[in-house]
Amino acid sequence: MAGEVAEEKKSSHVKILTTTNVKPKNSSIGKKECQLVTFDLPYLAFYYNQKLLIYKGVEAEFEGIVEKLKDGLGLVLEDFYQLAGKLDKDEDGVFKVVYDDNMDAVEVLVAEAGEIAVEDLTAEEGTTKFKELIPYIGVLNLEGLHRPLLSVQLTKLKDGLAMGCAFNHAILDEHAKSAANGDVAAKVDPPLREKVFKFSESAIDQIKSKINAHPSEGSKPFSTFQSLSTHVWHAVTRARHLKPEDYTVFTVFADCRKRVEPPMPESYFGNLIQAIFTVTAAGLLLANPPEFGAAMIQKAIDMHDSKTIDARNKEWESNPKIFQFKDAGVNCVAVGSSPRFKVYDIDFGWGEPESVRSGSNNRFDGMVYLYPGKNGGRSIDVEISLEANAMERLEKDNEFLMEV
């Protein structure tokens, strides 16, 4: 572990106290290289992925917790030493991850924000209050050529602890946050709002039951994901006030670990995901019952087999394109993350987090993150970024909110 550097960086609420570089405990790993694969390369022009975990009631033990977390990180890096490395390119311009024992490794910032309470953050609908709690806002994955691939900020709150993580999405996947399906004309981005809509276990069951109420002959039942995705796609399309002839795209990011040949283990660490696109006219989507949209999503997912994946990779390799995070499609609803990720099980010894949120990076009009609900069971939190006027209409949509 490198020595700590005192910082004088201040803001209205957060003060960075020290910056430490944490290395693998075993300091004799030596020089290692790992070439990025086709699945990884499109994400170089995305931003660092950001997550924020908020814990309550540990402020009195903050200093000891920080040291324990650093020590644990050093142990983890013995197996995942790539996170302590940097991006590099070989003589042919091929990107790779390189590690050497002399590198700075993972960056850990220690901060304090004595005026910010846990409740201030759990009540936050947008991401404004998170910006000083998570590193690398607006930093592209490509900057991993000269920045750490993982940065962690541990902030002492008035009554808890905030753990902000930023990791380079070109070298690992938690789940993709964007994709592309063609050229989109440049335009000024509209103002966005973010909000978390909480769907109880009962609401999720009602959504799924409604979409499965009238199955067609020979059809498969729609999953919870397909049902909720259709529910969100319909609601966002209504809120946007699109013309009937306007296209709308639903984008889902498929875990390809079990779809490729040969299948890869669930523990595969890199990006093994691809975007799956479903497109239709807004009028056609809304004029039909919800099972119409659900069937399109289901079919697109089912058809994304190893042959389709290989064809997509070969197409990209023949004409490489570094995607931008907004290239998810016209009038899109793009779903990332998953309620299958047990984020509320992240317990370092002082209990589960009060809240888990995404940072401000990689957000655009129509981006959706799904998380398991804090109350457990089948409850799901739906975090949506949407153009401000459309968001205002969505907030009043009782059909979407499952309110009578």
Task: Identify the three-state secondary structure at position 10.
Answer: strand
Does 169 participate in catalysis according to the annotation? yes
Please provide residue 45's backbone torsions phi and psi, each rounded to the nearest 5 degrees: -95, 5
Structure tokens at 247: 């296209």
14 in Cβ contact with 155 (< 8 Å): yes
Q: Active site residue: 92, 302, 347, 397, which one?
A: 347
50 in Cβ contact with 165 (< 8 Å): yes
Structure tokens at 242: 């699109």
108 in Cβ contact with 22 (< 8 Å): yes
For residue 117, with 0-12 CB atoms within 10 Å meaning exposed, 13-18 middle and 19 or more buried, which class applies?
middle
Task: Identify the three-state secondary structure at position 7.
Answer: coil
Task: Identify the three-state secondary structure at position 291.
Answer: helix
In the beta sheet, which residues pair with residue 277?
251
Q: Whole-angstrom Cα distance, residue 32 to residue 136? A: 25
* Residue given tokens 């050229």 in the structure block: 183
106 in Cβ contact with 33 (< 8 Å): no
* Residue given tokens 């209990």 in the structure block: 351
Q: Active site residue: 40, 169, 231, 327, which one?
A: 169
Beta strands in 210-311 (DSSP E): 247-255, 273-281
Helix ranges (H only) for 41-192 are 62-79, 118-122
DSSP 8-state assignment for residue 215: P
Does 246 participate in catalysis according to the annotation? no
* Residue given tokens 């953050």 in the structure block: 121
Task: Identify the three-state secondary structure at position 121.
Answer: helix
Q: Whole-angstrom Cα distance, residue 230 to residue 208? A: 10
Q: Whole-angstrom Cα distance, residue 77 to residue 83? A: 7
Residues acting as catalytic residues: 169, 347
